[in-house]
Amino acid sequence: MGMPKSRWRAHTTSGSRNSVRVRLNPQGRELEIDGVRRVEDLLRRLQIVPGTVLVIRGDRLLTEDAALAPADDVELRSVVSGG
73 is a domain residue: yes
- Domain assignment of residue 31, given as a range: 20-78
| Alpha carbons 2 and 12: distance in angstroms, whole number | 25
Q: How many domains does the structure of the chain reveal?
A: 1
Q: What is the pLDDT of residue 69?
A: 94
In a domain, 62, yes or no: yes
Q: CA gyration radius for the chain?
A: 12
pTM attached to this predicted model: 0.76
**CATH code for the domain of 47:** 3.10.20.30
SS3 8: coil
The angle at the Cα of 66, spanning 50 to 37, to the nearest 5 degrees, equals 90
What is the residue type of 18? N
How do residues 14-24 score in pLDDT, each as one tens digit?
445 789 999 99
